[in-house]
């Protein structure tokens, strides 16, 4: 709403929320992504070892209809499961550890650092969602009028974001120090987090047809906008990200 009203020039993120807004009529486009590799995993109580063990059980997500929920739905379908076999519940970001330790949920969809904390405490990893679903993680969304009227500004913003991401991934020592300070985590967890990010988040930042289409399909799998057909150009505009990628020496 703030973006459409002109109160913001950009929204940080490309996912079901931003794409749903575009599908609903917002004149916005995804213009840059952090990566196409999610680092979400389904972590379960120790007694559950496989996804099938969780049928009929409560699985916590960070928000119903958000990226974690949408990606989980698609990953389950990819491994020939039925998303309706699971009870998905929404939990706030600060409730993940407490919910698992209190057994108020049977499993949780998490990313680092919570992922490594839970594994260290003996919880079970039952599904690597990122290995099943190509979908953008993070990114940048802006209005078509900003793209048309301020293309150089958009280019500079995208370039700054891409350079910052590459600096984070390519300088392990400084990045780990930054993660420890800003996220208040221990050194070992910070190192593991960086190592996972370095693999998952490598890339030129250009929105891909497959990644955006998977968001679209994920939204429709939840019964929303089922009358719409996928048109990549209506949801994303990769032209400036491609230009930046070339400037930074990335191969297409």
**Tell me: the pLDDT tens digits for 24-60?**
999 999 999 999 888 999 999 999 999 999 999 999 9
The H or E element spanning position 99 is helix 96-101
- The proportion of the chain whose per-residue pLDDT surpasses 70, expressed as a percent, equals 99
142: nearest Cα among 42, 245, 13: 13
Q: In CATH, what class is 10-36+140-247?
A: alpha beta
pLDDT at 209: 96
Domain boundaries, the chain: 10-36+140-247, 41-132
Does residue 221 contact residue 73 with C-beta atoms inside 8 Å? yes
**In the block, residue with structure tokens 């191969």:** 251
- Mean pLDDT for 160-188 is 91
d(CA 89, CA 230): 28
Question: Which tens digit of pLDDT belongs to each residue from 7-26?
Answer: 999 999 999 889 999 999 99
State residue 252's pLDDT score. Answer: 62
CB contact at 8 A, 102 and 34: no
Is the distance from CB of 149 to CB of 9 less than 8 angstroms?
no
Kindly state the average pLDDT of the residues 193-200.
90
Contact 14, 136 (CB under 8 A): yes
Contact 143, 30 (CB under 8 A): no
Task: Using pLDDT thresholds of 50, 70 and 90, give the confidence band for residue 68.
Answer: confident
Q: Which CATH number applies to 41-132? A: 3.40.190.10
CB neighbours of residue 243 within 10 Å: 16
> pLDDT, tens digit, for every residue of 109-131?
998 888 998 999 999 999 999 89
Q: In the structure, what pLDDT confidence band is assigned to residue 179 with cuts at 50, 70 and 90?
A: confident
Per-residue pLDDT tens over the stretch 208-238: 999 999 999 888 887 899 999 999 999 999 9
pLDDT band of 98, cuts 50, 70, 90:
confident
Q: Which residue is listed with tokens 């079970």?
A: 124
Sign of CA dihedral 9, 14, 18, 19: positive
- E-state strands within the chain: 10-12, 28-32, 35-37, 41-44, 58-61, 87-90, 107-110, 124-128, 134-137, 140-143
What pTM was computed for the model? 0.83
Mean pLDDT, the chain, whole residue set? 92
At 162 the pLDDT is 97
CA 208 to chain centre: 14
- Whether residue 246 contacts residue 162, with contact meaning beta carbons closer than 8 Å, is answered with no
Check whether 150 has a pLDDT greater than 90: yes
41-132 matches 10-36+140-247 in CATH topology: yes
């Amino acid at each position: 709403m703030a973006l459409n009203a002109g109160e913001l020039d950009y929204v940080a993120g490309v996912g079901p929320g931003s794409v749903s807004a575009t599908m609903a009529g917002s004149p916005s486009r995804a213009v840059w992504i952090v990566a196409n590799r999610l680092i979400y995993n389904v972590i379960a109580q120790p007694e559950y070892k496989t996804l099938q063990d969780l049928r009929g059980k409560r699985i916590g997500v960070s928000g119903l209809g958000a990226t974690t929920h949408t990606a989980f739905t698609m990953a389950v379908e990819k491994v020939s499961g039925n998303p309706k076999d699971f009870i998905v519940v929404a939990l706030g970001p600060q409730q993940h550890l407490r919910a698992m330790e209190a057994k108020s949920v049977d499993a949780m969809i998490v990313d680092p650092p919570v992922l490594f904390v839970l594994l260290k405490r003996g919880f079970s990893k039952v599904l690597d969602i990122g290995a099943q679903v190509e979908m953008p993680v993070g990114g940048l969304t802006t209005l078509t009028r900003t793209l048309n009227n301020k293309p150089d500004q958009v280019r500079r913003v995208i370039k700054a974001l891409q350079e910052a991401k590459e600096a984070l991934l390519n300088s392990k020592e400084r990045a780990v120090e930054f993660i420890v300070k800003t996220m208040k985590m221990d050194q070992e967890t910070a190192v593991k987090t960086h190592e996972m990010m370095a693999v998952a988040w490598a890339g030129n930042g250009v929105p891909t047809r497959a990644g955006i289409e998977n968001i679209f399909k994920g939204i429709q799998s939840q019964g929303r906008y089922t009358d719409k057909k996928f048109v990549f150009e209506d949801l994303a505009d990769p032209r400036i990200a491609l230009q930046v990628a070339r400037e930074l020496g990335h191969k297409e």
